[in-house]
Amino acid sequence: MGRFTDSLLGRLRKPSKPESDAKGDALDKVLDVAKKRWRRADEFDRQNRKDAYEDLDFLETPGAQWPERERQLREAEGRPCLEFNRLPTTIAQITGDIRQMRPAIKVVPVDSRGDPETADVIAGMVRYVENRSDAASAYFSAADQQVGAGIGHWKVITEYGSDSTFEQEIRIVGIPDGVGVRWDPDAVLPTREDAKFCFVPVDMSRDVYEETYPDHPAAEIGDTDLTRSGMTEWAGADMVRIAEYYTKTPVEKTLALMPDGEILDLTDGGDEDHAEKLDLIAQAKATGAQVRIEKRPGHRVERYVISANAVLDGPTEIPGRFIPVVPVVGVEMTIGKRRARRGVIRFAKDSQRAYNYTRSTHTEVVALQPKAPFLGTEKMFKGYEEIWDTANSTNHPFLVYNSDPASPTARPERSQPPVASSGLAELSREAAEDMKAVTGVYDASLGARSNETSGKAIQARQREGDVGSFVYIVNFSRSIRHTGSIVVGMIPHVYDTARTLRIVGEDGKVDLVQINQVAGLADDGQPLDKVQNDVTVGAYDVAMEMGPSYTTRREAALDGMIQLVQAAPQLAPLVLDLLAKAQDWPMADKIAKRIRTMLPPQIQAQEAQESGEAPPPPMPPSPEQQAAMAQQERQQQLEAGRLQVDMEKLAVEREKIHAEMAKIQAEADRLVAEAQTAAVQPGAPAADPRLDAITAAVAQLSEVVSMIMEEMSAAAPPPEPPAPPAEPEGPPMALPTDLVEPPPGGFFIDPGALGQPAPEMMGQPA
């Protein structure tokens, strides 16, 4: 493995001739290849560009909706050439849907070194790039060209954050002439990510060119080299064309897979260029770990700025693996070897021309015809010619005429006025309907009222028009996804230092986040190896979420929550914080946070666990809960007091019984003692048999009394200790271990009352 590594990494570049000459030869070769590629790309897509420019002229240029020959004839005859342009409204309907349904970029890890939390940070960085770039203006400008002419473009560039920093930023900018971009004819994917080259031409005045590039004279008109290379449009009397020329060249990459999963790029340079990386490989091998070094096919993307006769700038290596130019295509179809592309205007031209023609003719027939004249004999108007000449333009109080002797009863009369042509009106309506059928956008989609009354029915009719134009929305979202892939591929190279960024959340809120930061210090004070939010490692992919914008989804969620609370009012306390957060008020978030503190503890703990925060402290009991707890404690104390009084009464009764038993036992003992004394005296009579009966009766009575005492003890269970308070404020009170005398007025609890024998009963006979 070591020799293989040396053979791969020990190559030193040794120029065989002066560096300036080698660079000049290389740039000449680049320019020659660029001219050939331009000629091929320009020829392949020429018809599509010609049709696209005509479509845009038809849409925006006054007078372009009339054929030139027809317009000249009508103007020569003094006939109107009116334009009733209905296409901008149709295009605005489609581009309005695009503006409302802007896709959201999601980032997901695709290898073991990718981190889901870092993926969320990268997604926020993509939105941060869009926000600082005002990417929406670039997106929607390209969408207008996409829907109108069939194609639009924007690009991704890198720039320094300011004039006084070394840190670069990523920026998304528009391409004004999106139709004029030339792509590799062999690229077949809609995003052109498989293209090997791309040209972005820019036309500037000769004065500006000479000020910008004084060391490179511009090509002159009629240059034979321009004619031979098919670049005659690159030089004009007052105009010079330059172009950004992007190339994507296959390269063979040398990659090293470290034991911890890190991948080191050892492609370019020699040992001195990768000294640090080679040290890491050597250290890993010294520990016995396996380092996998292999070659992989890859690409190098470079940017040049060229004119017709020189390379003005470059090469500049572009980070990532994609050419940073993004096309957004309308409807594209491959017909044999030809690729046809169009927008909404292409097939609506004839119906728009027919509409203009019929409306112009209708206007000419009705409004521009002379007003109906008066009919009469010559003698009727003789002498009053001035009055009758102005009869159609002046409101005379009366009209005077002469009576004609040849027709004494006749008088001047107005002829029948011109009548609007029903055929022209019908033709205008048919042309308008043809325009709707061709574009797929009908009156309901444009907001016209119909017989629908409910909101759902109106939305259903509007969606019918959206379906016909959904191809533009899908292609637009695909281009946004490709833009996200380009930005994500650039982030590890551009944002490769520790810095703090203001990332943008999906809801538009800005948060500060630190990237590429060491997580902290170990116990010995040394930096930890783990880097927080390290965007320079791992592989990430971009996923799309199609649908309405965040604002639209928030409004829909708010409506849904309101309907849920109205249907189930008992759920209101559980979702009131979410309902407040979805509002569009100032300080709605603060109101939601305050309401969240009133949620049940289990919901607060769940929210804290999902957000990775510490669980909230236990809430103090409410006044109602405190009152209930105090009432329960008082009830338990009263029950314990009653039980203690009962136990004391029982103890007194037991004392009385013990006293009576003691008396009976003492009397019995006395009688037995006297009887025994009399029996042992000489001359005494025989023992009285009643003594035995008395002794047996006393013993039997003692047993009965013992049984009664046991039953009394079993019938009086020991009192249960009161329940501990919910929130003890101090250490528990220690229980006494020795019995002490009660204070004056207090009660003494006999241990016998707790199911134990009394002290005076222990050791005495039953």
Tell me which of 403 and 719 has the higher pLDDT.
Answer: 403
Residues 71 and 82: their CA atoms lie apart, in Å, by 10
SS3 420: coil
Over residues 167-190, mean pLDDT: 92
Radius of gyration of the chain (CA): 51
Model pLDDT, residue 737: 43
Give the count of beta carbons closer than 10 Å to the beta carbon of residue 200.
20
pLDDT above 60 for 7: no
Model pLDDT, residue 748: 43
- Element at 302 (helix H, strand E): strand 292-306
Tell me whether residue 623 is exposed, middle or buried, using C-beta atoms within 10 angstroms of its C-beta: 0 to 12, 13 to 18, 19 or more: exposed
The distance from CA 755 to its chain's CA centroid, rounded to whole angstroms, is: 73
Over residues 724-729, mean pLDDT: 48
The least confident of 292-301, 440-449, 505-514, 745-754 is 745-754
Render pLDDT for 632-683 as a digit per residue (tens, 0 to 9).
Answer: 888 888 888 888 888 888 888 878 887 877 887 787 777 777 777 766 666 5
Do β-strands 182-183 and 531-532 pair in parallel, antiparallel, or remain unpaired? unpaired
- Element at 626 (helix H, strand E): helix 623-680
Render pLDDT for 412-451 as a digit per residue (tens, 0 to 9).
Answer: 887 766 666 677 778 878 888 877 887 777 665 555 555 5
The least confident of 65-74, 421-430, 580-589, 630-639 is 580-589
Q: What are phi and psi of 737, to 5 degrees?
A: -100, -20
Model pLDDT, residue 397: 83
Q: Helix 470-494 to helix 87-100 angle, to the nearest 10 degrees? A: 50
Residues 479 and 326: their CA atoms lie apart, in Å, by 6
Cis link prior to 103 (omega < 30° from 0)?
no
Model pLDDT, residue 4: 36
Residue 48 pLDDT level (bands cut at 50, 70, 90): very high
Residues 327 and 528: their CA atoms lie apart, in Å, by 44
Contact assessment for residue 173 and residue 138, using Cβ atoms and an 8 Å cutoff: yes
Contact assessment for residue 432 and residue 439, using Cβ atoms and an 8 Å cutoff: no
Residue 693 identity (one-letter amino acid): A
Model pLDDT, residue 709: 67
Q: State the chain's maximal CA–CA distance in angstroms.
A: 202
Contact assessment for residue 121 and residue 106, using Cβ atoms and an 8 Å cutoff: no
Model pLDDT, residue 766: 37
Q: Which residues contact 101 (CB under 8 A, 6 or more apart)?
A: 473, 546, 547, 548, 549
pLDDT above 60 for 246: yes
| Ranges 108-112, 636-640, 754-758, most confident | 636-640
Tell me which of 102 and 361 has the higher pLDDT.
Answer: 361
| Ranges 69-73, 432-436, 623-627, most confident | 69-73
184 vs 37, 179, 199, 259, 305, CA distance in Å? 8, 14, 9, 41, 17
Model pLDDT, residue 452: 54
Residues 241 and 200: their CA atoms lie apart, in Å, by 10
Residues 487 and 489: their CA atoms lie apart, in Å, by 5
Contact assessment for residue 326 and residue 153, using Cβ atoms and an 8 Å cutoff: yes
Over residues 41-62, mean pLDDT: 93
| Ranges 39-43, 265-269, 423-427, 552-556, most confident | 39-43
Q: Helix 46-60 to helix 135-149 angle, to the nearest 10 degrees? A: 100
Residue 543 pLDDT level (bands cut at 50, 70, 90): confident
Render pLDDT for 14-27 as a digit per residue (tens, 0 to 9).
Answer: 444 555 566 667 88
Tell me which of 622 and 636 has the higher pLDDT.
Answer: 636
Residue 528 pLDDT level (bands cut at 50, 70, 90): low
Give the count of beta carbons closer than 10 Å to the beta carbon of residue 395.
6
Taking the whole predicted model, whether its pTM rises above 0.75 is answered as no
Render pLDDT for 456-479 as a digit per residue (tens, 0 to 9).
Answer: 555 555 555 566 678 898 899 999
Residue 3 pLDDT level (bands cut at 50, 70, 90): very low
Share of the chain above pLDDT 70, in %: 72
Residues 230 and 456: their CA atoms lie apart, in Å, by 57
How long is the chain? 766
The least confident of 80-84, 336-340, 707-711 is 707-711
Q: Which residues contact 391 (CB under 8 A, 6 or more apart)?
A: 374, 399
Residue 436 identity (one-letter amino acid): K
Model pLDDT, residue 329: 94
The dihedral over CA atoms of 691, 692, 693, 694, expressed in degrees to the nearest 10, equals: 50
Tell me which of 178 and 445 has the higher pLDDT.
Answer: 178
Share of the chain above pLDDT 90, in %: 19
DSSP 567-625: H-GGGHHHHHHHHHHTS-STTHHHHHHHHHTTS-HHHHHHHHHHHTPPPPPPPPPPHHH
Q: Tell me the pLDDT of the chain averaged across its residues.
A: 76
pLDDT above 80 for 548: no
pLDDT above 50 for 203: yes
At 546, list the tokens.
């199609």
Tell me which of 32 and 552 has the higher pLDDT.
Answer: 32
Residue 713 identity (one-letter amino acid): S
The least confident of 65-74, 346-355, 695-704 is 695-704
Over residues 89-102, mean pLDDT: 83
Model pLDDT, residue 192: 93
